[in-house]
Amino acid sequence: MSLPAAGISLALALGWLLGRLLHVEKTQSFLISAGTAVCGGSAIAALGPVTAATDGQMAVSMGTVYILNSAALFLFPAIGAALHLSQTQFGLWSALAIHDTSSVVGAAAKYGATALEVGTTVKQARALWIVPLTVGIAIADRKTGQRGMIHLPWFILYFVAAAVANSYLPLQHLHWASGLYPSLTRLGKLGLAVTLFLVGTGITRQTIREVGARPMIQGILLWVVAASASLWAIWRGYIHL
């Protein structure tokens, strides 16, 4: 089993255990666990229709992830600086331990350009696991008689297409298209800034009240364990690039 698959499996297993211990509703517990294990709100958005989650369950799961995303934006750069993590180490840790890509970008950009490059690339590669997880859950649910809909995370396909184009279509060597990729880079950064703003506007007092104590406790404990374990493994050199 590959390292990403092993990490995702362990996070899902720990999330299931914490959900059982805290008596969190099954679907809600799974969405929070999947959001922590894979890619935050993107995973929840993809898995919600498959698991036939209600609007309330989606709101609770999203609220938990967004609150922890906001905390990561402030905590991760401070912890990385205190431990004297290199930019590569910090980018890798951010990609493995922060829920959403937008928040990985926010934290890594504050740490440095190399951290941003590493964090964004590794996070998007990790996000690819949304596809097999979503399809697997859909197949399992249909075998048990449940009916769900698969919503593919198209942004991942766009990321792959952009990476392939930048690697194999060197338009910067053509005079008429030399400014295309830099322009797209600036546009992408602007879009990420807008995304971070929208994440912030999704955190309200009402959202916090809807989350409640037990799902929040599950999300926080799972996140703390996942972030601490990945940080220790990176710091000791067990996980590296």
Give the pLDDT confidence score for residue 49 in this predicted structure.
Answer: 81
Give the pLDDT confidence score for residue 184 in this predicted structure.
Answer: 78
Token duo for residue 40: 């935050």
CA dihedral 55, 224, 93, 25 (to 10 degrees): -20
Name the residue among 137, 74, 83, 131 with its Cα closest to residue 103.
74
Judge whether 30 and 16 are in contact, CB under 8 Å: yes
Give the pLDDT confidence score for residue 13 in this predicted structure.
Answer: 93
Name the residue among 90, 146, 159 with its Cα closest to residue 118.
90
Judge whether 64 and 92 are in contact, CB under 8 Å: no
Token duo for residue 117: 């490059």
Mean pLDDT by 10 residues, the chain (241 residues): 73 94 91 90 83 80 85 94 95 92 89 92 84 79 56 65 74 65 76 68 66 84 94 90 81
The number of angstroms, rounded, from the C-alpha of 54 to the middle of its chain's C-alpha atoms is 21
Q: CA geometry: angle at 33 spanning 31 and 39, to 5°?
A: 80
pLDDT tens, 23-39? 998 988 999 999 999 88
Listing DSSP states for 75-139 in one string gives: HHHHHHHHTT--HHHHHHHHHHH-SSHHHHHHHHHHH-HHHHHHHHHHHHHHHTTHHHHHHHHHH
DSSP category for residue 239? S
Give the pLDDT confidence score for residue 143 in this predicted structure.
Answer: 56
Give the pLDDT confidence score for residue 3 in this predicted structure.
Answer: 63
